[in-house]
Amino acid sequence: MSKMTLKTEGDRHVVVTRRFAASPELVYRAHTEPALIQKWLLGPTGWTMPVCINEARPGGKIRYEWTDGKGGGFYVTGEYVELVPFRKIVHVERMHLPAPTPDNQIETTFEKDGTGTLMTMRMTLPDSEARATMLATGMEHGMEASYVRLETLI
């Protein structure tokens, strides 16, 4: 998918960009309204998010719980730091596997781009080790996605 980029920056950052064919308002809402988040923030095929708490205000709580429907799953907790409606979200999150991973501070911006939106998500980890762990953990789940897709092909 050429629309998305993912790269590391310096020692502690990971930057993801993606363009959407919808206004910044809609993309922002899809990131802050639980009923919408539950439709797309799912990871591997077959996974669902039965619990989605998203209090979109400074200091508000975030809790996402995922399950594969076969007893497997994990959850993320976080807190909002700053919200500029339809333009910017700053929040902190950590994965529980079940031990919590180091805090990941994420600044997400939504910029008007023609008739659509350019989203930029900049993650900041406490140090290079934490980023390495985050990337390696993401891999396990990414790999799982590939395996699940593979199963459907067989």
**By CB under 8 A, residue 153 contacts another protein:** no
Site for another protein in 92-131 (CB under 8 A): 128-129, 131
**By CB under 8 A, residue 90 contacts another protein:** no
Helix (H), strand (E) at residue 23: none
**By CB under 8 A, residue 4 contacts another protein:** yes
Q: What does the DSSP assignment read for 31-81?
A: HH-HHHHHHH---STT-EEEEEEE--STT-EEEEEEE-SSS-EEEEEEEEE
Query: Which pairing describes strands 73-84 and 88-96: parallel, antiparallel, or unpaired?
Result: antiparallel
Closest by Cα among 119, 139, 123, 140 to 131: 123
Residues 13, 18, 63, 87: which binds another protein (CB under 8 A)?
18
d(CA 16, CA 63): 22
Count of positions on this chain that bind another protein (CB under 8 A): 41
Q: Which is nearer to another protein, 18 or 88 (CB)?
A: 18
Site for another protein in 133-152 (CB under 8 A): 133, 135-136, 138-143, 145-146
Q: What residues line the site for another protein (CB under 8 A)?
A: 1, 3-4, 6-8, 11, 16, 18, 20-23, 25-27, 29-30, 36, 39-45, 128-129, 131-133, 135-136, 138-143, 145-146
